[in-house]
Structure 1
Amino acid sequence: MKYTTEITVDLPRDEFIKKLDNPEHMKHWQQGLLGYELLSNNPKAEGAQMNLKYKMGKREFEMVETIIKSNFPDEFHTTYDTKGVHNIQKNYFKEIDGKTKWISECEFQFSGFGMKLMGFLMPSAFKKQSMKYLKDFKAFAENGTSVLNT
């Protein structure tokens, strides 16, 4: 399953990147994030990994983020792996009139019958969650609004 989401954030690209590229900020725009652990000595290098722990509803799960391309301020690509799901994220950042347009290309690859069925029956849920992260980042970056307060 592939789709693209995008949003414009009212910040210059350099300020946008400072907020996006700080793992301490993730808790403010990724609802359900319980914590993270850096798994690599150079956490910003291509190939670096980070373990992320989430709780959505009553379900807790972990995933591993791997940086596949780090070319800030223009682009940042990662993969996310958890049981039954391989997610490829290609993120592009364009500065337009002092604002930043974030374009996120998502590809989900499912393994196992349950995850394949969920991807087939509920593709809009994945796109909705991706868009929620973009909107929550926008609120945090522009106004300091944190999902921790909701």
Structure 2
Amino acid sequence: MNYTTEIIVNVPLNTFIKKFDNPENMKHWQRGLIGYDYISGTPGDIGAKMKLNYKMGKRNMELIETITHKKMPYEFHVMFDTNGMHNIQENYFEETPEGHTKWTSKSEFIPTSFILRMMTLIMPGTFKKQSKKYMQDFKNFAEKGTSVSNAKT
């Protein structure tokens, strides 16, 4: 399953990248994030791996993030792996004529389990909605300083 989401964040590109490229800020825009640990590589560099732990309702989820391409401030690509799913995400950033930042995210979800294969076929909107929610939460954090760190998931 492939899809693209976009959002305009009303901050300059350099401000956007400073907030986006700081793992300490993830808790402010990634609902349910409990914590993260570096596994290998130099943090923030291509090839670096990080384990991300989330609590979604009553369910715990662990993702392994691998940075696959980084050309800041314009491109940041990662892979996420978890039980039953492989996700490739390509993020592109550009400054608008108004001095804001346009964030385009291309997502590819490759299910590796039957149940998740069915979910991507039956409920693709759920994945798109989640991606858009993270982007909106980042926008609120970058523009207004609003954090989701205490929000219910």
TM-score, structure 1 length as denominator? 0.98
Q: Name the residue aligned to 2:76.
A: 76
- Report if aligned partners of 2:13, 2:95 keep a CA contact under 8 Å in 1: yes
Percent of pairs with identical residues? 57
Residue deviations 1:53-100, cap 9 Å, x none?
001111101010000001000100000000010000000000012100
> Residue type of the partner of 1:143?
K
Other structure's SS at 2:89 match: strand
Asked whether 1:120 is paired with 2:85, we answer no
Equivalent residue, structure 2, for 1:86? 86
Q: CA deviation at 1:40?
A: 2.5
Equivalent residue, structure 2, for 1:143: 144
Per-residue Cα deviation, 1:82-135 (whole angstroms, up to 9, x for no partner): 001000000000001210000000000001111111111110000000000000
Q: Which residue in the other structure is 1:61 paired with?
A: 61
Number of residue pairs the alignment of both structures matches:
150
C-alpha distance in 2 between matches for 1:122 and 1:11 = 33
The answer on whether the counterparts of 2:91 and 2:104 sit within 8 Å (CA) in structure 1 is: yes
- How far residue 149 of structure 1 moved from its aligned partner, in angstroms, is 4.0
Aligned-residue Cα RMSD (Å) equals 0.8
Q: Secondary structure at the match of 1:147?
A: coil
Query: Unaligned stretches of 5+ in structure 1?
Result: none
Find the counterpart in structure 2 of residue 40 from structure 1. Answer: 40
> Where does structure 1 differ by over 2 angstroms across 4 or more consecutive aligned residues?
none
- 1:27 and 1:143 map into 2 onto residues whose CA distance is 15
**1:11 aligned partner:** 11
Aligned partner of 1:38: which letter?
Y
Do the aligned partners of 2:40 and 2:49 also contact (CA within 8 Å) in 1? yes
Structure 2: tracts of 5 or more residues without a match: none
- Specify the code of the residue in structure 1 equivalent to 2:34: L
